Every structure is written in C-alpha cells, then in structure tokens.
Structure 1
Amino acid sequence: MVAAVYCALRHGPSYSCPHLIFLTPCLIAIVASSTPLSPLGYQFRTAVKAGDFLVTAEVTPPKGGDPQRMVSMARCLRGRVHGVNITDGSRAMLRMASLAAAAILQQAGIESICQMACRDRNRIALQADLMGVHALGIRNLLALTGDPVKAGDHPDAKSVFDLESIRLLRVINQLNQGVDSHGKSLPDGATDLFAGAAVDPQSHSWSGLQRRFNRKLDAGAQFFQSQLITDFERLEKFMDQIAVGCHRPVLAGIFLLKSAKNAEFINRHVPGVQIPEALIQRLAAASDPLQEGMQIAAEQIRIARQLCQGVHIMAVRREDLIPPILDLAGVAPLEPSPSHPNPA
C-alpha cells in the first residue's frame, strides 16, 4: 500500500509499479533508532587499498533477542582486527539477522563485515537489505550463496536461491553505480558498499575453483576470505597458480581447534574440511588441549603470512582468545588511526 501511494504521488495514479524495491519495515525501524548513521571510517577498506597484512575475525549472532554476549566478544577484538564478520545463517542454523547484528556492533563502535547469503531472500529482498546496510553506515559485505537448509536446524524450510554469490556481487556493483538489478535508477542515491567473496583453495575441482574465482573477480569482488585451511601446500599452489596477479587480497581461514573431539566433529560435519590426523593426535596428547589449539592457530597464521595477504580467524564462542593467538603469532596490534575518509 505504501509503495502504491508513493508511485501515485511520484508518477501519477496510472503508473504501474510491480517490481519496486523499498527498505523493509524492520530496516526502517533499525535505521530510525541507529545513531550515528555515518560509517565508522573505512579501516578495513583503507587497509585493503594500502596492501596491509589484513586480520579479520568472525562472531556468530545470538540465537535469541539478547546480543550482549556477541557484543562482548566483538569488543575483545578492538585494536587487533580490521573488521569483524557477522555470519548470516551459517550452516543453515537459525540466528539473529546478520544486518541487525552488524548494526548493533556498529552502534558499539565496531567495524563489521556483514555476510549476506542468497538462500533465504529473492533479489528484491536482497537489494532492499543492501540499501538498508548502506543506510546503517555499514560498508563491508561478504557475498555468499548460502548453505543448504538440509544441513541446518529447520530442514523443512524452503530455499530461495533466486541469486547466488556471483550474481549478488554484480547486483552490489549495480547498486554502487546507482541502478537496481533491472537497470532502473535509484532516485535516493547510490550505495557505497565494499564487497568480497568466499574462496575454497582446497576444492577438489581445480578447474572449477579457477573458473569461479575469476568470475567473482569479474563481478567485482574486492577481497576474498577462504574457508578453513588445513592444507597450506594447497593454499600456496592456489596463490601461485590462480590468485597470482589478481590484485585482490586473499585472507586464509584459520580455525581455533579446542580439543581432539572438536577436530573430529569438524571432520564429520563440515563438508570439504579434513583436519589432519597429526593435529588431532597432537591435541589428544596435550595436557592443555585449548592452549595447544591456540599454539596451532598461531603457527598457521605465521605460515599464512608468508603465502597471502591476511588471515580470517574463527574461534567459535571463544573470540576472546583471538588477541592472545595473534600475540603468539607475532602479529602486532593495529596502529590507532583517525576516522578515514572514503579511500575509493
């Protein structure tokens, strides 16, 4: 009804508007209550453009209405990471919406990288959320296709998949140029979104990996975050043969293994990831498995630092351990910096 009134006022009563895209009521409410709406600066984008060694981390939105623990974990990362990823229905598990969680972190003064998956929204809803993300002052995005619902806690849910990650990147590029996915101009201004994509250097299909990586580059990906890396020889091969000369940073996925049981769980339930038996035995033999896991993560960061331009650290529900892991790896705290102007 609101859209119809808008059309009539702007274009006349006979105008037809079957494909209009507007912010959802939820987003309008978030925008109305969020201050300030200006970006936090462009720390992550500036570091990418400068060629710095990048460090990002990941927090999971709450399963419920209380974001306090998420905010507390993210605050531990201040001064140590360039951006904090907010997952979007990872493993098809029900959680708070990533854009709402990112807005909450934004209000807490934490620069976020808002993940956006295509599984649950059609192109109208995705574009509405993208405009809302921009309005909230969030600038960094990770475009994802999304995990299949059968893997999650609502296996009877209906998937959408109107778009996938490559086409979502193209849509983001269009919105940044001031037009929607149908080429219609945005009368209220273009977005300014800095979008990246996921990559899996351990993919079984080398030709498929190369093809999708190049298509994501062509679609406008500004950075790449990898899946959990366990085979660093494979990462080196990927960097030498596929990512070479792409002029876009690749951040290697580093996962904190908390115990041998944790590693075995990943091998059983995370497709495409195989924790080496040597690491499992090392964790099993350790008197303090968590401390050993931190040491392993630090060793992996040191290896990754020789191969690529950054690391993306995942320490599920123990994000407070990321700063000491970085200390063990010899990664210094970030230099304090004033709010950056748009470096684009």
Structure 2
Amino acid sequence: MHNQQNNKPLDAFRKAAEAGEFLITAEVAPPKGGDPCHMVEMAATLKGRVHAVNITDGSRAVLRMSPLPASVILLQHGIEPICQMACRDRNRIGLQADLMGAYALGIRNVLSLTGDSVKAGDHPDAKGVFDLESIRLLQAIDKLNHGFDYNDKPLTDGILDLFPGAAVDPQCPSWSGLQKRFERKLQAGAQFFQSQLITDFDKLDKFMDQIAAGCDKPILAGIFLFKSAKNARFIKRVVPGVNIPDHIIERLEKAQDPLEEGMKIAAEQVQMAQQLCQGVHMMAVKREDLIAPILNLAGVKPVNELVPV
C-alpha cells in the first residue's frame, strides 16, 4: 500500500504559480475501462514539459474512470496531477469526501467545475446532481483548507491544504456575466484559472486588461490542437460555447498535411498567449504526445529552464 511518505505530494505547479513563472499544463483523459496504460503513456510524454497534468472528470458528460484514482496513478509515476472535480455527479457529501481522500493520497491541485449537462453525454438519461456549482465547490475547498466542513463543523482529523483553481471563458458573449463570475471565483478562493480553448486573442487581451488586471492569480490560456478541418468543425458543433473562426478551418482545409498545420496553429497561439497571460493549458485530445513538439515549435523551453515572468 502506498503511504503518504511513498506517495509524497508533488507541488511544483503551486510553487511555479507563486513564483510568477510562465505556467504550462496539459489535459489527459482517464481511460474508459480498467487499464490506465494509455493514459500513463500519454502523460509520460509531458514529463519535464509541463508543470502539471489535468485529469478530466467526465468531460462532456462522457463516461470515463473517476479522476481521483486516475490522478493517484499519475502521482505513482512521478507526474503531478490537477484533479478536475465536477459538481454534476456528486452531492456536497460526496464532493467533500473525495476532496479529503484526494488530499490524503497526495493530490494537491484541484480544478473546480460545475460540469457539462448530462444531456450532452453518452448517458443522457442519467440524473444530474448539481447540488453545488463551481463557486460553491471553491467555497467548500476553502472551508476544508481552514479545518471546517461545508456546514462550518470542525474537521476532527486534520485540515486540508489544497491548491484550488477554476475555469474561465474570456470569449464569453456576456461581458458583465464573465466579470461577475470571475470576481466571485476569486473571492471563493481560486488560486489559478484555466481557460476554455481560445481562438480570439483580442478577446483574451481585453479580458486580461479589463477584468483580470491586478487579480494577481495566473490565467492559463486554453490552446487546442485541431487535427483537421473536419475535427475543427466537430469541436465547433459539440463543445458548448466554442467558436472557431473560418480562417483557421480554411488553413486546415488547404494544408497538405492538416495535422502539421494544426500543430503550427497551436504553436502560434502559444506564442500569442506568452505576450498576454501567465500560462497555457494545452489540449490535444488523443494526441497528447504532440504537445511537447508543439511547445518546441513555439520555442518554449522545458519547465525546469523557465524563468519568472
């Protein structure tokens, strides 16, 4: 059995965030089934290139292994996880229970999410729970970090020390709604923000300038690898709130090698993000092995060589 000593918490992500370094994270999906080999293989290609690896929690309401054991498996392979936690499938008892378990097993980074509607996924007849949403989940984490449960009753067996983050969508059509939720997430204790995939860098610039200015918490721009024009159209159709401009789809369509073109587009976007915010969150569904080459194309050094911004 892995005890706390063997399973020593990894906290490079938090240290880099607090030191003001340019942060790099990437997303890996847990397996659908009991064999984590492919997930571990993909995450291993990111060692030394990212500060931490996000493990998704039933993204798009599609069934996969729970992010908690998947995150522990990464820890056992020396890879620091950011365990995503969505409010869709568990009530406040289940969420707090999982947070305590995550902490005891050495997980330190948690991304608080409301979660996609079950109607979007592969079990549309399932019951969505949504007892809490992302802001209340952040509040719950903050209470646990101060030694109290959601009802303000003291924890009798040790407090938690989790590093909570939240999602943000700088391309949100409602500017006032975006500002309000961002401020509420900050107040609830979010220590970092990972964005939805960004294609409009003018909007990101405006968000950094008008909403995030002075918040002193790192914002990581979501960078997505489009593998082909067909792939880009699919993402535009199925992922809520995503708008992919025609010029990107056209570039992919005209390219002799669409995958290579997609990598170039992602690398260009990483370079744009470097001018605007404190990090990038890389998403390359089923091709996580291409994230390191994209970072190379963008001229981003391995994480141990990065300096504070």
TM range (shorter): over 0.9
State the Cα deviation string for residues 192-247 of structure 1 (Å, max 9, x = none).
10000000001011000000000000000000000000110000000000000000
Which residue does 1:247 correspond to in 2? 216
| Counterpart amino acid of residue 114 in structure 2 | T
Matched, 1:214 2:168: no
Matched, 1:140 2:109: yes
Which of 88, 92, 111 is residue 80 of structure 2 equivalent to?
A: 111
Which of 169, 176, 179 is residue 148 of structure 2 equivalent to?
A: 179
Which has more radius of gyration? Answer: 1
Which residue does 1:261 correspond to in 2? 230
State the Cα deviation string for residues 17-72 of structure 1 (Å, max 9, x = none).
xxxxxxxxxxxxxxx556623202x1000000000000000000001110000000
Which residue does 1:46 correspond to in 2? 15
Which residue does 2:47 correspond to in 1? 78
Give SS of 1:143's match.
strand
Aligned partners of 1:37 and 1:177: how far apart in 2? 23
1:274 shift after superposition: 1.3
Matched, 1:335 2:304: yes
Q: Number of aligned pairs?
A: 305
Matched, 1:198 2:128: no
TM-score normalized by the length of structure 1: 0.87
| Identical positions, percent | 70
| Counterpart amino acid of residue 151 in structure 2 | H
Give SS of 1:335's match.
helix
1:138 shift after superposition: 0.5
Which residue does 1:321 correspond to in 2? 290
Aligned partners of 1:111 and 1:169: how far apart in 2? 21
- When residues 260 and 117 of structure 1 are mapped into structure 2, their CA distance, relative to the original with a 3 A threshold, is same
Matched, 1:163 2:163: no
Which residue does 2:29 correspond to in 1? 60
| Counterpart amino acid of residue 230 in structure 1 | T
Matched, 1:90 2:62: no
| Counterpart amino acid of residue 39 in structure 1 | P
Aligned partners of 2:174 and 2:305: how far apart in 1? 42
Which of 189, 196, 204 is residue 158 of structure 2 equivalent to?
A: 189
Asked whether the 8 Å contact 1:115–1:143 carries over to 2, the reply is yes
Asked whether the 8 Å contact 1:315–1:321 carries over to 2, the reply is yes
Aligned partners of 2:304 and 2:178: how far apart in 1? 35
Aligned partners of 1:271 and 1:179: how far apart in 2? 35
| Counterpart amino acid of residue 271 in structure 2 | R
Aligned partners of 1:147 and 1:260: how far apart in 2? 25
Aligned partners of 1:333 and 1:38: how far apart in 2? 23
| Counterpart amino acid of residue 323 in structure 1 | A
State the Cα deviation string for residues 282-323 of structure 1 (Å, max 9, x = none).
111111110100000000000011000000000001000000
Aligned partners of 1:129 and 1:335: how far apart in 2? 31
Give SS of 2:304's match.
coil
Asked whether the 8 Å contact 1:37–1:135 carries over to 2, the reply is no
Aligned partners of 1:160 and 1:125: how far apart in 2? 11
Asked whether the 8 Å contact 1:267–1:274 carries over to 2, the reply is yes
Matched, 1:225 2:194: yes
Aligned partners of 2:303 and 2:232: how far apart in 1? 30
Give SS of 1:99's match.
helix
Give SS of 2:216's match.
coil
5+ residue gaps, structure 1:
1-31, 338-344
Asked whether the 8 Å contact 1:34–1:107 carries over to 2, the reply is no
1:154 shift after superposition: 0.1
